[in-house]
C-alpha cells in the first residue's frame, strides 16, 4: 500500500517499544523517524558541548531542559526530508514542549499522537534486559544469539547496559514519566489527537494496530 506522509508523535513509557515501532512506521509511510534520544546519545558519543551537558542528566534518568530539546527538534524538522512528514519519538515530554512544538509546526500540524500502552512490570523487565552497542547504538537483549560473543555484529562494538537502564534509574525514569509526561495524554486527548494502542504482542501485531490508527486519521484528514 502506498501511504501518504504523516506527522505523528509516538508516546509511551520507556521500554514500550516506541523506537522499534517508529522505525517500522517511518519506512511504511516514507517519512523520517526522529528520535531525540538517538540524537542526544550521538552527541554524547561525539563529546559535543550538548553531549557533555546532557550526559549527566540522562544517566540520572532526568529530562534534558526544554530549551535544549526544543532547539534540537526545531532544527531537525526544518530539514528537507521532513517536508512530507515525520514521526517524533521522545518529544514532546511535557505540556510546555507540546505547546512549543505546536508553534514550530503551525503550518503543518500534528496528525495523530499514538500512545503505546504497556504495563510497568513489563517495561522494567524489558529495560533491565536491554543492551546497547557502545559504538553504533544498536539495541539488543540479554540472551540474544547475535551478541553471544559479546560483540555487536553490525560494527564490532561492545553491547553494554546503559546507566539509565539499571534498576534504580529505570524506576526513577518511570516516576518522571508519570509526573511530567502523563499530563500530555490529557493535553492531546483534549485536542482529539490521542489514540491509545495496546503495545503487547508481537512486533507485527503492534505495527498493524498502529497502522490502522494512522491510516484512519490520515484518510479522515487528507490535508
What cell was used for 38? 538517538
Residue 127, domain member (yes or no) = no
Annotated catalytic residue 154: no
Look up 179 and say whether it is catalytic. Answer: no
Count of domains observed in the chain: 1
Structure confidence by residue, pLDDT tens digits, 22-42: 999 999 999 999 988 777 777
CA distances for 176 relative to 94, 156, 169, 194, angstroms: 10, 34, 10, 20
Does 162 qualify as catalytic in the annotation? yes
Is there a domain that residue 132 lies in? no
Residue 88, pLDDT score: 96
Catalytic site includes residue 166: no
Q: Catalytic: which of 45, 55, 162, 166?
A: 162
Higher pLDDT, residue 44 or 12:
12
Catalytic residue among 24, 130, 131, 209: 130
Q: Does the residue 139 lie in any domain? A: no
The answer to whether residue 199 sits within a structural domain is yes
Considering the chain, what percentage of its residues have pLDDT values greater than 70?
97
Is 168 a domain residue?
Answer: no
- Domain of residue 71, CATH code: 3.40.50.300
- Residue 173 among the catalytic residues: yes
The pLDDT of residue 221 is: 58
Task: Give residue-wise pLDDT tens across range 46-94.
Answer: 787 777 877 887 777 777 788 878 877 888 888 899 999 999 998 998 8
pLDDT in tens, 158-201: 999 988 888 888 888 889 888 888 899 999 999 999 999 999 99
- Choosing from 41, 93, 126, 209, the catalytic residue is 93
User: Is residue 156 domain-resident?
Assistant: no
Give the residue numbers spanning the domain of 35. Answer: 7-118+175-220
pLDDT given for residue 220 in this prediction: 59
Q: Got the DSSP string for 74-124? A: HHHHTSGGGSS-EEEES---SHHHHHHHHHHTTTS---EEEEEE--HHHHH
Predicted confidence at residue 203, as pLDDT, reads: 93
SS3 28: helix
Point out the catalytic residue in the list 7, 126, 173, 209.
173
Q: How many CA atoms lie within 13 A of 170 on its CB side?
A: 19
Q: pLDDT value at position 176?
A: 86
Choice among 7, 18, 41, 209 that is catalytic: 18
Which CA distances in Å does 62 have to 54, 130, 134, 213? 10, 19, 21, 31
Is residue 161 assigned to a domain? no
- The answer as to whether 33 is a domain residue is yes
pLDDT digits (tens, 9 = 90+) for 117-129: 999 889 888 889 9
Amino acid at each position: 500500500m502506498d501511504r501518504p506522509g504523516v506527522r505523528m508523535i509516538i508516546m509511551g513509557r520507556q521500554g514500550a517499544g516506541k523506537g522499534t515501532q517508529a522505525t517500522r512506521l517511518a519506512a511504511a509511510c516514507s517519512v523520517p523517524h526522529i528520535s531525540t534520544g538517538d540524537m542526544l546519545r550521538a552527541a554524547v558519543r561525539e563529546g559535543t558541548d550538548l553531549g557533555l551537558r546532557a550526559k549527566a542528566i540522562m544517566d540520572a534518568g532526568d529530562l534534558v531542559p526544554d530549551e535544549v530539546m526544543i532547539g534540537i527538534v526545531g532544527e531537525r524538522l526544518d530539514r528537507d526530508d521532513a517536508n512530507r512528514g515525520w514521526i517524533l519519538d521522545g518529544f514532546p515530554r511535557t505540556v510546555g514542549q507540546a505547546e512549543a512544538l505546536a508553534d514550530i509546526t503551525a503550518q503543518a500540524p500534528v496528525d495523530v499522537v499514538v500512545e503505546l500502552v504497556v504495563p510497568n512490570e513489563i517495561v522494567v523487565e524489558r529495560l533491565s534486559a536491554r543492551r546497547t552497542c557502545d559504538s553504533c547504538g544498536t539495541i539488543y537483549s540479554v540472551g540474544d544469539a547475535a551478541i553471544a560473543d559479546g560483540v555487536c555484529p553490525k560494527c564490532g562494538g561492545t553491547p553494554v547496559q546503559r546507566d539509565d537502564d539499571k534498576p534504580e534509574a529505570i524506576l526513577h525514569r518511570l516516576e518522571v514519566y508519570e509526573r511530567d509526561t502523563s499530563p500530555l495524554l490529557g493535553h492531546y486527548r483534549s485536542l482529539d489527537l490521542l489514540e491509545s494502542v495496546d503495545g503487547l504482542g508481537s512486533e507485527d501485531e503492534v505495527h498493524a494496530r498502529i497502522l490502522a490508527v494512522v491510516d484512519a486519521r490520515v484518510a479522515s484528514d487528507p490535508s
